[in-house]
Each structure stands twice: as structure tokens, then as C-alpha cells.
Amino acid sequence: MSQSCAAPDPALLAGRFITIEGIDGAGKSTQVERVAARWRAAGLEVVRTREPGGTPLAESLRELVLHRTMDTLTETLLVFAARRDHLREVVEPALARGAVVLCDRFTDATFAYQGGGRGFDLAVLAQLEHWVQQGRQPDLTFWFDLAPEIAARRRAAARAPDRFESEDIAFFTAVRQGYALRFDATPQRVARIDAECTPEAVAAQIDAALEARGW
């Protein structure tokens, strides 16, 4: 069962950029509103957003990336173009006015999907990350980690697949490995969540990670 935790200190949270990552079907969407509600109850403005997406332009690019056939360089440039617009129009202004930004996926997804899954050059991704983000990085990332076979069963029960969700287990195994590399590179930024357990147990892990930071 999820345990109740101490009320977060708004002063510690204002202007924080929090991202949520994991392979498709990891259970991110199931948890994200609960976290937002916790912070809203503490009096904070919470901006819930997602990538690719979050602005009209970036949502248009999302439709292309999720549903149109394209090569990996095109796919990579489109997710970074969407990210640039999203950062300028939504994320940076929200952080500047002291909101908490809770974003479903960010650049770790590019390293995992385009880098790990598609095999795109990680050094080029790092350059694009630098150009597009100008140093902006999440303050905390929840990485929902689980076996691709379990995620595939959850997706099959939930919805019709898009272009990524139609990929096979080998692709998602490589994506998971891409996430693991990012986790290993910045373990202080990333909280690994065991996403194979019940929603209540997942929520308890999230609360523990937040409580450890006083958030």
C-alpha cells in the first residue's frame, strides 16, 4: 500500500523540472496525476506536459513522428525540433515563474529510443541536446523500469499501437538498455522505479524518492 508522506516544502519545489520516462506501457500516465495532485495541494502551480508535444507546433510534429514512416535522422530532428519549441514556449516560461513542470518524457527518451532502439549515434544526440537545451536538464527523472514482455502485455490490453508501440521485444530491450545507460551516467538525477509491481507499490516508491528530497 502507498504510505502517506510529509507535505512537500513549496520553496524546495518551485521552478523544478521533473520528467518521467520508461518504455511504452510502463505505467507512467497511471501515476502522473497523483504526483501533480500532491504538489497542487501544497499550493504550487503544476504544469503537466509531454514530449513530443506540449505546444500546437510540437503536437503536430508528434503526429508525424508517431504515425508517419521516416528515417531515423528525420525522426531525431523532429523530436528535437518539437523539444525546442516546447522549451521556449512552455517549459522555460513556467520554470521562470516558479511553477513545477511535470513532463511525460524528455531527452532521455531520445537517447533510449533513437539512440538505443534505432542505433543512432549517441555523440550526435549529445550535440543536439546541447544546441537545443542550452544546458537545461531535469532536476529529477523517474525512470519506470520493467521487462519489455510485461510492458507489451499491458499495452496489448490497453490500446491500438502507434509506430513505436508496434516494434518488437528486441527493440524495447534496446530502448531499456538506452535508459539504463543514461541512469548509469547520471544516477543522482534519475530515480529508478521498479514498475513491475502493483500501482500502489509503484506509488510508494515515487513517494519515497520525493520524500528523500523533501519534495
Interacting residue ranges for ligand LXEULUCI, rule: CB under 6 A: 24, 50-52, 66, 79, 104-105, 109-110, 113-114, 164
26 touching ligand ATP, by CB under 6 A:
yes
State the binding site for ATP: 22-29
- Closer to ligand ATP at the Cβ: 23 or 95? 23
Query: Grid coordinates 508535444 are at which residue?
Result: 53
The residue from 3, 29, 166, 186 that contacts ligand ATP (CB under 6 A) is 29
Is cis: bond before 52, omega within 30 of 0?
A: yes
199 binds, among ligand ATP, ligand LXEULUCI, none (CB under 5 to 8 A by kind): ligand ATP
27 touching ligand ATP, by CB under 6 A:
yes
Query: Grid coordinates 528525420 are at which residue?
Result: 74
Helices (H), the chain: 10-13, 28-41, 56-67, 72-86, 92-96, 107-109, 122-133, 148-158, 169-185, 199-212
Give the span between the Cα atoms of 70 and 9, in whole angstroms: 45
- Closer to ligand LXEULUCI at the Cβ: 44 or 202? 202
Give the span between the Cα atoms of 52 and 44, in whole angstroms: 25
202 touching ligand ATP, by CB under 6 A:
yes
51 binds, among ligand LXEULUCI, ligand ATP, none (CB under 5 to 8 A by kind): ligand LXEULUCI
Q: Burial, 197: exposed, middle or buried (Cβ in 10 Å; 0-12, 13-18, 19+)? A: middle
Which single residue brings its beta carbon nearest to ligand ATP? 27
207 touching ligand ATP, by CB under 6 A:
no
> Which residues, numbered 128-187, are part of the site for ligand ATP (CB under 6 A)?
154, 157-158
Are 206 and 193 spatial neighbours (Cβ–Cβ below 8 Å)?
A: yes
Q: Burial, 120: exposed, middle or buried (Cβ in 10 Å; 0-12, 13-18, 19+)? A: buried
27 binds, among ligand LXEULUCI, ligand ATP, none (CB under 5 to 8 A by kind): ligand ATP
The footprint of ligand ATP (CB under 6 A) covers: 22, 24-30, 154, 157-158, 198-199, 202
